[in-house]
Structure 1
Amino acid sequence: MAKRLWSTWDIPDQTGRTVVVTGANSGLGFLTSLHLAKNGARVIMTSRDLAKGRAAHARVLAARPKGSAVLHPLDLSDLDQVKAFAEHLHASGLSVDVLVNNAGVMMPPRALTAQGHELQFGVNHLAHFALTCLLLPLLRRDSRVVTISSDLHKRGSIHFDDLTGSRKYGRVAFYAQSKFANVLFALELDRRLRAAGLPIKSMLAHPGYAATNLQLSGPSGLLKLFMRIGNRFMAQPAEMGVLPQLYAATAHDVAGGQFYGPDGKKEKKGYPTQVQPSVAARDEQLAQRLWQLSEELTGVHAALPDTADSP
């Protein structure tokens, strides 16, 4: 269990560790990159928007971190770019200690990725599924994969019969689906890593209700107005929202399969603590079905044994 008042002051020394953070140009991804670099990590920041990514990278360097940071363009809505980025890391000879699957889109009008997947499911889940599977060979012993979900995963389900939302699309419902998929994936990854005897931790984190650009970049109309009001009057600062994922990425007393979020009422605000995924998100058969589907949709297969075949 996380300490109640754990903060960025408690981040252990990260010298010698290499961290990959997706969506590092703003919000929680930027703060994750900043604090890990400050504490000695070599951070590989990715950003879809190169101009915003360069600005964020400059801000990290301006903080005179004990570690370092490099920037790579990466648009998670294009699986070809995900595969090219993974190939680049393999070619560089780097080993990775922490992968933070942070990037996401939230409640936009219906849109499709380059490969024709619904945008939220494609970016929030499929891209991170593919990236994680592709980078598994680069992960060192005792490394970590931290996948960022949301408390809204509790409202999610997988629309197997309408994954692209062509028949019925709801912005909130499909966002919840993608966050639900994050939890199913991360827990199934933990089970597979354990079955394979690999010393890699797969964990989850969510920020509660944190004021970031995420709430404003996707929604439009009245929904965007509601998000803007909520960010101003109800949300906690992003500096608090980032703590659960920093805790999962760095704290010594974490374990694979654990989920971290705020300790306040309804997990909306507060300091990091262990929280529980929904009962539905712990459904192993559903997770295996999603895993198989994700392999088919991405063309990426993890070199891990199937838990269904494990003793």
Structure 2
Amino acid sequence: MAKRQQPIGSGFGAATTARNVLAGMDLTGKRAIVTGGHSGLGLATTRALVAVGAQVTIGARDVTKAQSAVAGLPRGDVLPLDLDDLESVQRFVEAILDRDVHIDMVINSAGIMACPETRVGPGWEAQFATNHLGHFALINRLRPILEGGARVISVSSAGHHISAMHWEDVQFTQGYEKWQAYGQSKTANALFAVHLDHLWKDSGVRAFSLHPGKILTPLQRYLTREEMVAAGWIDENGALADMTFKTPEQGAATQVWAATTSQLDGLGGLYCEDCDVAEIAADGDRSFKGVCRYAVDPEQAERLWNLSADLTGVGGRR
């Protein structure tokens, strides 16, 4: 994996927008699923895809809110999806399967960050459950309509640098720390793509993970202004203070690129950033650039897959 985890010279960069990536493409007849496709990066992704002809189904917890957000967009529809509720995931998949159509791309964009300690389902930590387990169950149940040619895109984060997997206490039952839990969930997103690609590539399904960049979106809903000022993201008046932040359209670019570009044909299981394959971060590097070795380690990826299969009852141990 480390040998393939190298930039390919895409010609794009940090300032690239989703529309830049898709310029000249015609996705008429292509079908996409975007979780959280009505808000933040997900909305920017949906808008960019439908603008070049794709049909996009949005999975959203609040259907009314989502429908309002995408009102007027062509070729888009909304179905209820609560990722921390496996029964909701099952209903969403059944609704998709009933359409009897092939899905060309799934962009797992929905997520939560640094929330107060919350338990869902059988006591799962909410960030791990929402950001990883819900998407794990979703993709595994969608497999019949992905085979034959599809890409699965997991929106990870440079936040994975915060934490590897807490194998001794994945659910943080021995003490909760919101940033460690977030970091673990983002590492899980990257590891999921590694093993998914390994298992399904012979069926025509390729998987990628990515860091979209730093963007002010509803993802920060659990953070106080004081926390964001202390982090240097905004000033005391609430104005953007960190000029390395991207717009939502720039933030959506890498996930749209990973889902559609021919530059990644024949590749998979890779972590991307700034519309290119990312480099492996040096051990001890605290710049939050590139991808940590533990987030693309095949053995860790297999271990996570088996744990996730045990917890969700789908996917099977591999």
Shorter-normalised TM range: 0.7 to 0.9
CA distance in 2, matches of 1:51, 1:226: 35
Match of 1:161 among 168, 178, 200: 168
| 1:97 and 1:140 in contact (8 A); partners too | no
Distance 2:120 2:81 in 1: 14
Letter in 1 for 2:157: S
1:9-158 matches, within 5 Å, as 9-11=20-22, 12-59=25-72, 61=73, 65=74, 68-158=75-165
Return 5+ residue gaps in structure 2 as ranges: 1-7, 280-290
Q: Is the 8 A contact 1:110 1:165 kept in 2?
A: no
CA displacement 1:218-243 (0-9 Å, x = unmatched): 23474355466277221221111111
Write the distance in 2 (CA, Å) between the matches of 1:91 and 1:4: 38
Deviation of residue 102 (structure 1)? 0.7
Q: Say if 2:21 and 2:256, in contact at 8 Å, map to a contact too.
A: no
- Counterpart position of 1:309: none
* Residues 164 and 253 (structure 1), Cα distance of their counterparts in 2 relative to 1, 3 Å cut: same
User: Percent sequence identity over matched residues?
Assistant: 34
For residue 44 of structure 1, give the secondary structure of its aligned residue in structure 2: strand
Deviation of 1:79 (Å)? 1.2
Asked if the contact 1:24/1:56 (under 8 Å) is kept, the reply is no
2:277 equivalent in structure 1: 274
Considering fraction of residues, name the structure with more helix. 1
**Helix, strand or coil at the partner of 1:248:** helix
User: Which of 298, 302, 313 is the matching residue for 1:284?
Assistant: 298
Partner residue, 2:261 = 251
Match of 2:286 in 1: none
Q: Distance in 2 between matches of 1:95 and 1:243?
A: 24
TM-score normalised by structure 1 residue count: 0.86
SS in 1 for 2:240: helix
Q: Is the 8 A contact 2:193 2:270 kept in 1?
A: no
**d(CA) in 2 for partners of 1:88 and 1:116?**
27
Correspondence for 1:4 among 6, 12, 15: 12
Determine whether 1:206 maps to 2:215: no
* Counterpart residue number, 2:4: none
Deviation at 1:245, TM superposition (A): 0.4
Whichever residue aligns with residue 192 of structure 1, its letter is: L
Offset of residue 156 of structure 1 = 1.7
Relative distance call for 1:288 and 1:10 in structure 2 (3 A) is closer
Residues 158-214 of structure 1, C-alpha deviations (whole Å, 9 max, x = no match): 2233222222111111000000011111111111123xx222111112211122111
Amino acid in the other structure paired with 2:278: V
Give the TM-score normalised by structure 2. Answer: 0.84
- Tell me: higher relative CO, structure 1 or 2? Use CA pairs within 8 A at least 6 residues apart: 2
**Matched length:** 286
Deviating beyond 3 angstroms after TM superposition, the runs of 4 or more aligned structure 1 residues are 224-228
Query: Structure 1 residue 3: deviation in Å?
Result: 1.4
Unaligned runs of 5+ in 1: 263-271, 307-311
The equivalences for 1:158-197 within 5 A come to: 158-194=165-201, 197=202
Would the alpha carbon gap of residues 226 and 17 (structure 1) be closer, same or farther in structure 2, given more than 3 Å must change? farther
Question: AA paired with 1:210?
Answer: I
What is the DSSP-based 3-state SS (H/G/I as helix, E as strand, rest coil) of the residue aligned with 1:43? strand
For residues 221 and 16 of structure 1, the distance between their equivalents in structure 2, rounded to whole angstroms, comes to 44
- Residue 218 (structure 1) aligns with: 222
Counterparts of 1:79 and 1:56, CA distance in 2: 25
